[in-house]
Structure 1
Amino acid sequence: MKIQEIRELIRLIDQSSIEEFVYEHDGTKVHMKKPAAVAPVQAAVTPAVEQAAKPATEEVKPQASTQPVAPPTEAKPQELPKQEAKNTENLHKITSPMVGTFYAAPSPDAPPYVKVGDKVKTDTVVCIIEAMKLFNEIEAEVNGEIVEVLVENGQLVEYGQPLFLVKPE
């Protein structure tokens, strides 16, 4: 299975109400499961030979080479959101409604839809998210002023990922 096919599956599962998905083909197993809270879908790909050696009742867990590094990195992210929460309490986050590629402008040679300091209304288009060859205009959904752009042009974004911070009026 190609990585692009896996990405498409993740997008489709993420946009659906399916909570768990398992697919096996040619020695490859893809197991996707959404947690109860809204979060990006995680995928684990494991060879079927390794899968056959495990008992049928045991759940497949992705292999992580970062386990020895996990304790030091876990402490820092837990501290950062607390600091961010203090700074962004009164700000509205414009989040991505889908997985896709973020574009700040309608075309490469055009100026960005919005920049820091711009005033926006609820129906102001702030960016485009490209998903499966479709360009989706994202609106501000709030009246206010753009305080910060949180992603780079051309960056892959996840469902629910904050894109902009807006100071509401």
Structure 2
Amino acid sequence: MAALCMLGMGLACTCRGIDIISGRIIVSMTIIFLFFYGNTVSPYSAQVAGEIPSQPLRAYTMAFSWSVSFFFGWLLTFTAPYFINPTALNWGAQYAYIWAPTNLLCAAFTFFFVPETNKRTLEEIDECYNKKIPIRKFKSYQSVDTVQARREVVNHQALVHRQKAEEGVSV
């Protein structure tokens, strides 16, 4: 969706130039982009980034990823005026042509290299990595170690409950 919004902005500026209608199209595409970005990528990127690295590397990975994010944020903020300004490169809304393929590359990277962590504990994610489960199979993988640990807890609780019942202690 983000790539389509960026493409829409660039096409509006290329086809119509700068006028009222292209301005409305650009504003509409920006609103749609921000709605989808704000409800999908933005809130979940930090959450997923915190779940994927192993426990010993989590702090280092998060620090590195936020540093890279802040660097590119600064770089884009610094260079965007040069692309948009009429006295510099004068790309205007055609600047969005850079971001349409960039968004597609990010989507492809996410699809192929970011595992599905929905309804997984951190231990299950670590188990998938330790057993070298392919990224695409994370979602369907049945965690053996976690299931076994849960079984042991249930068996232990049943044993404690049975011992208390034999001793006459109300449970």
Q: What TM-score does the superposition give when structure 1 sets the normalisation length?
A: 0.23
Tell me the TM-score normalized by structure 2: 0.23
More helix, by proportion: 2
Give the structure with the higher percent strand: 1
Structure showing greater radius of gyration is 2
- Structure of greater relative contact order (alpha carbons < 8 Å, 6+ residues apart): 2
